[in-house]
Amino acid sequence: MAEDRQSFDYVVVGSGSAGSIVASRLSEDGRYSVCIVEAGGSDRSIWLKIPVGYARSYYDPAVNWMYRTEPEAELGGRRIYAPRGKVRGGSGAINAMIFVRGAASDFDDWRAAGSPGWGFDDVLPVFKRLERHAGGASAHHGDRGPIGVTPMRGETHPVCDAFLDACAELQLPATPDFNGASIEGAGIYDVNTRRGLRSSSGAEYLRPALGRANVEILDHARAARVVLDSERRATGVEILRGGKRIVVEARREVIVCAGAVDTPKLLQLSGIGDGAALAGLGIAVRHDLPAVGRNLQDHLCASLYYRSKVPTLNGDFSGLLGQARLALRYLLTRKGPFAMSVNQAGGFFRGRPSEPRENIQLYFNPLSYRIPDDPGAGLKAEPYPGFLLAFNACRPTSRGTVTIASPDIEAAPEIRPNYLTTQTDRDEAIQGSRLARRIMDMPALRAITAEEMPPSAGASSDDELLAYFRENCGSIYHLCGSAGMGPDASTSVVDARLRVHGVDALRIVDASIFPTITAGNINAPTMMVAEKGAAMILEDARADRRPRPVAAR
């Protein structure tokens, strides 16, 4: 196979939610050249711009790796679907766009676990820097950042009001803003959209950056390994593209932003990971770092389905005429269901009063639909007016792994989340079920509910609720933690400045560095990690005054 060489100051592997931001920030003053290595292709498809289009990308191999876990013992041996973006913008180009930062205590936990500079007071200014909030600047929000953040309040389906009223009847707290003073309570979610279009980091950071003379993207390129010299310094990335083997050299640093699945995969292919396991696969061990691929975390979710006495989005989405009306409204106003997520209302609650903080997240969805196992079937609304109430634990304690099974870069890694392997997680599955049922039993929701539908209907005891959860739960696609941040190289992969322990000029900047999963959807904190990580890289570059020429494009 022919080999070619190119040279840049920084090589960024992955143009997803994190990589797009890192590449943009490193290149924006023109001082440094940046090469982005992306396995997917363009994000120009209209379905990646219209918010409702994420239903089209859910099973689309052109933009989605469509991973599955290994059989999960606690889930009856089921293999759980784990979609990952394979396109410019990564998973942020195909997700459901819910914008939740996480609880302040989540980041204080990061700092307390040995990562200085990552407490909530440290990261709040970073969150504000990345967002352009529709409500303007405030103590909690920024209005000049690239990512549009749009509250769905005032635009949601009327049945969402019944959910909020039911929470009030149950005397649960309410919050006007999950990204405001407190995450706890019932409310309406924000989405990362702007003027009715998806506002991802690929669109808002990467696309403008690609117009700069000092930025180049190599798409449809598979990263094969990080190249290390004899002193264990990252000097570049070997990629396969168009039948050629190319070494993209990095004069300053290699930054891996490939996500919670492909980042540990790339490190392991490069000989960085558990030395005994790598040697057993015939991979030359360059650095024995056992935590690579460990500490994998995810939110595991299940839904309760209900037949409604009043119209829901099922009627509009199940027929061509209804879809046409929604499409026309969207084209004329950039508003309506096509401009939003179907996950509209919800909240963060304590599954029982004794819990020290919110530990259950709920989604109230005015559209009830099933996710088929057959990728060719597509997502379809239930054939009746319905809604669903979904729930997951905020901070599951089960820990899994991502490991390669062979040196073949084309082979998918083995993903083992080890769901429900702790008693805490099993208890919280029951807590979430019972909390959802208590809310559904309030007058506001009883008034619009005809009946609970299978598969949850009929489950009432703790054993029955847990059995229902085991048989019907799925990932909510928040994989993180597989190259965790921490001070100890035996239990973590990167330090507080996101530098890989024991390897010079190599950093990881993506969701894999989360020490512990945050409450809520993780796209917003992943973008925060990228903003903060890019700032650290530039700070260290300014401290390093050695002259290094900029490569010509």
Structure tokens at 88: 């410019």
Of 241, 308, 294, the C-alpha closest to 264 is 294
Is 287 annotated as catalytic? no
Overall residue count recorded for the chain in this entry? 553
Q: What are phi and psi of 534, to 5 degrees?
A: -60, -40
3-state SS class at 438: helix
Q: What is the spatial distance between Cα 262 and Cα 349, in angstroms, rounded to a whole number?
A: 33
Looking at 141, 157, 287, 478, which residue is catalytic?
478
DSSP type of residue 52:
G
For 220: left if phi > 0, alpha if psi spans -120 to 50, otherwise beta; the answer is left
DSSP type of residue 238:
E
429 burial class (0-12, 13-18, 19+ CB within 10 angstroms)?
A: buried
Q: What is the spatial distance between Cα 539 and Cα 507, in angstroms, rounded to a whole number?
A: 14
Q: What is the spatial distance between Cα 198 and Cα 212, in angstroms, rounded to a whole number?
A: 23
Of 53, 19, 10, 55, the C-alpha closest to 39 is 19
3-state DSSP of 83-97? CCECECCHHHHCCCC
Structure tokens at 356: 């020290």
Q: What is the spatial distance between Cα 386 and Cα 165, in angstroms, rounded to a whole number?
A: 18
Task: List, in sequence order, every residue forming a beta bridge with 131; answer none if it has no partner.
Answer: 147
Q: What are phi and psi of 57, to 5 degrees?
A: -90, -5
167 touches 439 (CB < 8 A): yes
170 burial class (0-12, 13-18, 19+ CB within 10 angstroms)?
A: middle
Task: List, in sequence order, every residue forming a beta bridge with 365; answer none if it has no partner.
Answer: 388
Of 5, 38, 45, the C-alpha closest to 19 is 38
Neighbouring CB atoms inside 10 A of 422's CB total 15
Structure tokens at 365: 């969805």
Catalytic residues: 478
